[in-house]
Amino acid sequence: MEQQALFAEMSLFNWNLYIKRTDDLLNTLTDEQLAGEISPGRNTGVYLTGHLFTYHDAMCDILELGERKYASLDNAFLKNPDKSGINFPSIATLREYWTETNNRLQKYFANMQTAEWFSKHKNISAEDFAKEPRRNKLSILINRTHHLSYHYGQLILLKSK
């Protein structure tokens, strides 16, 4: 259990690191910068912000933490690409949802027992999990941290040169 706690701590350390980096970046970007594209013809910062918090919000479901709050935005930010014609909430609202999602997950994570991180997540059967114990709840957190660092590497291109 001590080793499990260490590994959960290592994984949460990296999650918090990239959430903080992305949060700091979003706070330095103006609404105009966020509305811009990361590279000509590519995703906007607005889309990526929505994409990140809806994807993180969905962790509530897969990690069995509680009800999701922004499933109604999946269509805009998860199921469709940017510039699909679907209306987005205002940038101020997206910033608020980003922060609310981070804070909500942080509270859930603080209350999770170590053993829970090593239990199966919602989208894997007990049979498959017995064969592949690697596919635990912690693997979802780790996967989402890589997804976050991937998009953080793009959002940083919105900064002034």
Contact 158, 44 (CB under 8 A): no
Q: Applying CB under 8 A, does 40 fall inside the site for a second copy?
A: yes
Residue in 42, 83, 107, 122 binding a second copy, rule: CB under 8 A: 42
Q: Applying CB under 8 A, does 138 fall inside the site for a second copy?
A: yes
Binding part of the chain for a second copy, among 37-45, 58-66, 67-75, 105-113 by CB under 8 A, reads: 37-45
* Nearest residue (CB) to a second copy, 4 versus 119: 4
Q: How far apart are the first and last CA of the chain?
A: 47
Q: Applying CB under 8 A, does 142 fall inside the site for a second copy?
A: yes
Q: Supply the minimum distance, in Å, between the C-beta of residue 72 and a second copy.
A: 27
Q: Applying CB under 8 A, does 85 fall inside the site for a second copy?
A: no
Q: Applying CB under 8 A, does 115 fall inside the site for a second copy?
A: no
Q: Applying CB under 8 A, does 160 fall inside the site for a second copy?
A: no
Contact 25, 156 (CB under 8 A): yes
Alpha helices in the chain (DSSP H): 2-28, 31-35, 45-57, 59-62, 74-77, 91-111, 114-117, 126-131, 137-155
CA distance linking residue 113 with residue 21, whole number of Å: 26
Tokens linked to 75: 């269509």
* Nearest residue (CB) to a second copy, 25 versus 71: 25
Total interface residues for a second copy by CB under 8 A: 32
Residue 160 DSSP label = -
CA distance linking residue 89 with residue 94, whole number of Å: 6
Q: Which residues bind a second copy (CB under 8 A)?
A: 3-4, 6-7, 9-10, 13-14, 18, 38-42, 118, 133-134, 138-139, 142-143, 145-147, 149-154, 157, 161
